[in-house]
Amino acid sequence: MGKVVAAIAAAMLLVACSGPPNTTAARSTTPPTWPPSQTPAAQESMVPLEVSFERTIKQVLPSIVQITTEDGLGSGIVYDSAGHILTNAHVVGKAKQMDVRLATGSKPHNARLVKSFGGGDLAVIKVDDPKGLKPARFGDSSKLRVGQMVLAMGNPLGLSGSVTQGIISALGRTVTEPQDPESPGATITGAIQTSAAINPGNSGGGLVDLSGQVIGIPTLAAIDQDLGGGAAPGIGFAIPSNTATDIAAQIIRSGKVTNSHRAALGVRGSTVIGDDGQAAGVAVAKVDKGSAAANAGIKPGDVITSINGRETLTMAALAEALTTFRPGQQAKVGVVRLNGSTTTITVTLGVLPGD
């Protein structure tokens, strides 16, 4: 729903891949059926890769759903037989109630929000009646390999049950969304970069390996500012399945995220622009009570410029720098005070709260 900035390339931005309620794409009045019928002769003539694609789609697509709120639409994955569905926080936004339809076609299910974790752009919703829902199988994202073939399944532009194919292009990316009314301002660590096409409406769906396991949650797509904001072909990002299932399990068990495993400073702020028009630091607007920053003496009005010598001149840079630490570690934070003096403050980092 909101554009997001990636640190990987100055000319690139990212867009969170949920879509508006209505799109210009034509919609079929008849939902797709899976698998498409094939004669024995046609099946025998298929190459092994085609067979793998069809088998994977047949297995996983019934676990993919379309989520529709008053503000837009996106995708989700059936998590368990109790009716819990895993998706992105930016897909549900501020909605407490939403409609859910199977990507393969079904009557709408009423669903409610269980909990969003904006800091990781993940959320769990639950349908009132789970009858007919098929839980997906989740794989171990720590075992992924660059070059591995994957399928992205979701509802791009409201086209229910769409599938695209590509490879894992890179692992371990860090991408950050700016904080604004349309975006939770998440920083995604260890993100999977994929060449499988990801478009608005794909968010919250499944990035799937050819064994039929969900190994990621498609979340962001890059756009190229040099092309006037057009899509950057073949650059999308997904949240690893290990991260997503860990957060989902905590929400289902406790009703909230009890351990994000992420370090936090505990400040709210905005990027300061210097006289030269360039970013000059992060102005602290609020320090969370009892946070690492509060305990170390960081105050509203301070401008944070670095962590352990690494410049953090924007909110995105600060968020990304914090992903390199674990809760409980110490960091040296460079600060410019209101009177113009500079100092370095040693902070023992806390845990990113689960909202």
Of 200, 185, 191, the C-alpha closest to 118 is 185
Residue 203 designated active-site: yes
Q: Establish whether the linkage from the previous residue to 35 is cis, with ω within 30° of 0.
A: yes
Token pair of 157 as six digits: 């532009």
Catalytic residue among 75, 84, 90, 183: 90
Residue 18 annotated to the active site: no
Rounded to an integer, what distance in angstroms lies between the CA atom of residue 170 and that of residue 115? 30
Question: Is 109 a residue of the active site?
Answer: no
Of the candidates 84, 121, 162, 209, the residue annotated as catalytic is 121
From 116, 183, 203, 260, the catalytic residue:
203
**Residues known to be catalytic:** 90, 121, 203
